[in-house]
Structure 1
């Protein structure tokens, strides 16, 4: 069970992953809405992930990596 609140390092890593998703998305010239359409995820979900305000699951990250045509490891490195 995760501790509540989460350790700072988890929040930091979450934000780093969101920053990478945003960077690749903008590099591919995709809006959050378009990425949502490509993944089947809501635009709000994409926004929350990029902002690092909410956790995500590996399924969402796999869908995003596939839609961005980038290895998952690139997003979470």
Structure 2
């Protein structure tokens, strides 16, 4: 079995990468955080935390975000 990193830095790095993909996709569409959080039905604090990588994103939140952005949820998880 492969050795997995046991520190929080690994997880934080991945959460930040997902948040960066959300932010880049949102900005490419000239969409504000306000418009995205309202359209996705999320609180502004939740969206800010997801984009910053400081908050764990529920799969349902990622699906909602992806739907509003017009991308597949896997694009947010693995990039384009």
TM-score in terms of structure 1 length: 0.88
TM-score in terms of structure 2 length: 0.85
Aligned pair count reads 73
Question: Shift in Å at residue 42 of structure 1?
Answer: 1.0
Deviation readout 1:14-70 (Å, 9 max, x if unpaired): 000000000000011111010011101011111110001111110000000000000
Decide which structure has the larger Cα Rg and report it. Answer: 2
2:3 matched residue in structure 1: none
CA distance in 1, matches of 2:43, 2:32: 12
2:12 matched residue in structure 1: 11
Runs of 4+ with >3 A deviation: none
CA distance in 2, matches of 1:35, 1:6: 32
2:71 matched residue in structure 1: 70
